[in-house]
Amino acid sequence: MLGFSLRDLYPGTLGRGPRRPRAWLGPATPYHGPATPVPPHGGPPLKITRWSELSDAERRRLVHRRADVPADVLTTCRRVVDAVRAGGDAAVLALEREFDGVDLDGIGLRVGNDELAEAAAQLPLDLRRSFDRAIERVERFHRRQLPPPLWLEAFPDGTRAGEQTVPIESVGCYVPRGKGSFGSVLVMLGVPARVAGVERIAVASPPDATGRLDPATLYLAHRLGLDTVYRMGGAPAIAALALGTETVEAVAKVLGPGNAYVTGAKQLLAGTVDIGLHSGPSEAVVYADASVDPEVVALDLCNEAEHGPDSLCLLVTTDPAVAERVAMAAARVAAALPEPRRGWVMQVLDERGGAIVVESETEALAVINLLATEHLVLDIARPYAVLPGVRYAGEVIIGPNTPVAACNYLAGPNAVLPTNGFARSMSALGVRDFLRTSSVVELSPSGLAAIGADVVRLAESEGFAAHALSVTARPPAAERPEGGLQVEWLRSSPADPIR
């Protein structure tokens, strides 16, 4: 996923809500302070288990990972949605006061252009340059995803059929904040929306106690040309974007990660607005062999474990000695981290991580595809020989020189990825998520004559008399002359590169 975890999000207030442990391999116990010092012989226990020795129930827990929103959270989200639907701006302002203790009455929900323009001065120059480079690389990757505006297949019998692709009209990008800064979220949401040509892109992010937004989020919004930015967070923000208020214009789609309250609000509003990709706590599987330094494998595992106690990180290998060496290396990596990250890594390695030893490459691929993980790292000697056998993964990272962190920020592909096994049917966020297609069909007189009898026969078999009559009683029309495809069918070229 992106470079943050649910534990990073603002805890302890109702608007964004406390983090709730999620049962995948078992309950994730809350983190209670610094971890136990790493013993000299190894440190955090990376459990090593043979796949053949796991029970059916244990395999099911690995494969069918769920992140259900607790009932009490949904109850709160329902109250929030009902309040925003009935009260509009006043409800959102009241909810911000109630949940986060911030009074926005004097400055309002929308961020002014001056505040957007001034954000650059609050960020170090090197950080701005890194964000700019991320935008450039993410844009370059996503432009390759653009389909043709219109394509048509000409059938020999006189039928033309194809698709026209246009951007969706509007999208709301939710950028969490909590106790950290997550500007990279806006890069991953805003850049493909711009590339797709979305006309109206709104940004919502939680304010601090003074009502100000994270400077990185403001800088990136201004850098991407997004001037519709709202200071509101959690379930109220999702409700306002979906339903609209006096200040907030409703959007067609709401995207962006968040905690259980954000997820709960999206679930309740799924019949009102498109909520896009389902994303939960971060997860990774590393497939490794003896050709890669165990320190590298350990770094890849700890990168994922750092997201928080509800993360999942698993090593898959055919070599038990690799698992043992990686466990030792993971202890050293964890020991070098500052708190609280060190404690989270050790907890995940103990409770929600482990090494699975398989008998063969074939079994390794079977396990990988069953898990359908968010990140799959191939730390092996022959990654491209194995790659065709990988069917289900949010992204495939080819080691040993490709840190997951590089893919989170700057490699180019999108870092918003399916989790909880949804990689079986969902893909990474991309330009296609901001586009929609319409079928375009034209029959010439000869084309209708060629298929008309079949249409009538099928319509009558299903009892649709008017369907059949629309063919048999249709008056003849002239053949469309050459040049019948009008150039105005084609939409204009995509927007210029983001400057």
Assign residue 34 the CATH number of its domain: 3.40.50.1980
Q: Report, as an integer, the average pLDDT of 130-154.
A: 97
Name residues whose C-beta falls within 8 Å of residue 342's C-beta, 6 or more positions apart in sequence: 34, 35, 334, 335
Q: Is 150 helix (H, G, I), strand (E, B) or coil?
A: strand
466 confidence band (pLDDT: 50, 70, 90): very high
pLDDT at 308: 78
Q: Name the residue among 485, 416, 396, 390 with its Cα closest to residue 444.
A: 485
Active-site residue, from 96, 139, 374, 395? 374
pLDDT digits (tens, 9 = 90+) for 364-422: 999 999 999 999 999 999 999 999 999 999 999 999 999 999 999 999 999 999 999 99
Are 305 and 196 found together in one domain? Answer: no
Are 358 and 234 found together in one domain? Answer: no
Of 81 and 19, the one with more pLDDT: 81
Does 467 qualify as catalytic in the annotation? no
Are 76 and 185 found together in one domain? Answer: yes
Of 378 and 498, the one with more pLDDT: 378
User: Which DSSP state fits 147?
Assistant: P
pLDDT at 179: 60
Domain residue limits at 449: 444-489
pLDDT at 45: 64
Are 471 and 377 found together in one domain? Answer: no
Are 464 and 359 found together in one domain? Answer: no
Domain-embedded: residue 405: yes
Q: Is 120 helix (H, G, I), strand (E, B) or coil?
A: helix
279 confidence band (pLDDT: 50, 70, 90): confident
Are 321 and 241 found together in one domain? Answer: no
Of 481 and 311, the one with more pLDDT: 311
Contact 16, 206 (CB under 8 A): yes
Are 87 and 221 found together in one domain? Answer: yes
Number of compact structural domains in the chain: 3
Does 374 qualify as catalytic in the annotation? yes
Are 174 and 232 found together in one domain? Answer: yes
**3-state DSSP helix/strand/coil percent for the chain, to nearest 5?**
40, 15, 45
Q: Inform me whether the pLDDT recorded for 131 exceeds 60.
A: yes
Contact 189, 217 (CB under 8 A): no
Active-site residue, from 142, 222, 307, 375? 375
Long-range contacts of 119-126 (CB under 8 A, 24+ apart): 119/215, 119/216, 119/218, 119/219, 119/222, 120/219, 120/222, 122/215, 122/219, 123/215, 123/216, 123/219
pLDDT at 480: 67
Tokens representing residue 3 in the block: 């470079």
325 confidence band (pLDDT: 50, 70, 90): very high
Q: Report, as an integer, the average pLDDT of 51-67.
A: 88
Q: Report, as an integer, the average pLDDT of 308-336.
A: 92
Q: Is 374 helix (H, G, I), strand (E, B) or coil?
A: coil
User: Final residue of a domain: which of 217, 235, 268?
Assistant: 268
Q: Which of 44-53, 107-116, 394-403, 474-483 has the lowest mean pLDDT?
A: 474-483
Three-class SS string for 166-214? EECCEEEEECCCCCCCCHHHHHHHHHHHHHHCCCEEEEEECCCCCCCCC
Q: Name the residue among 294, 356, 357, 358 with its Cα closest to residue 331.
A: 294
29 confidence band (pLDDT: 50, 70, 90): very low
pLDDT at 95: 97
Name residues whose C-beta falls within 8 Å of residue 70's C-beta, 6 or more positions apart in sequence: 20, 260
Q: Report, as an integer, the average pLDDT of 37-59.
A: 74
Identify the bridge partners of residue 315 per DSSP, sorted by sequence position: 286, 355
Q: Report, as an integer, the average pLDDT of 459-463.
A: 98
Domain-embedded: residue 432: no
Instruction: Please name the helix (run of DSSP H) or strand (run of DSSP E) that holds residue 48, with its range, or none.
Output: strand 48-50
Q: Inform me whether the pLDDT recorded for 326 exceeds 70.
A: yes
Are 229 and 330 found together in one domain? Answer: no
Q: Inform me whether the pLDDT recorded for 435 exceeds 50.
A: yes
pLDDT at 40: 39
Name residues whose C-beta falls within 8 Å of residue 380's C-beta, 6 or more positions apart in sequence: 287, 288, 289, 291, 292, 386, 399
Percentage of residues of the chain with pLDDT beyond 70? 86
Contact 310, 25 (CB under 8 A): no
Tokens representing residue 158 in the block: 């006189």
Contact 441, 159 (CB under 8 A): yes
Contact 211, 231 (CB under 8 A): yes
pLDDT at 259: 83
Domain-embedded: residue 154: no
Q: Which string of b and e fits 243-263 if b means at least 16 CB within 10 Å?
A: bbbeebebbbbbbbbbbbbbb
Percentage of residues of the chain with pLDDT beyond 90? 74
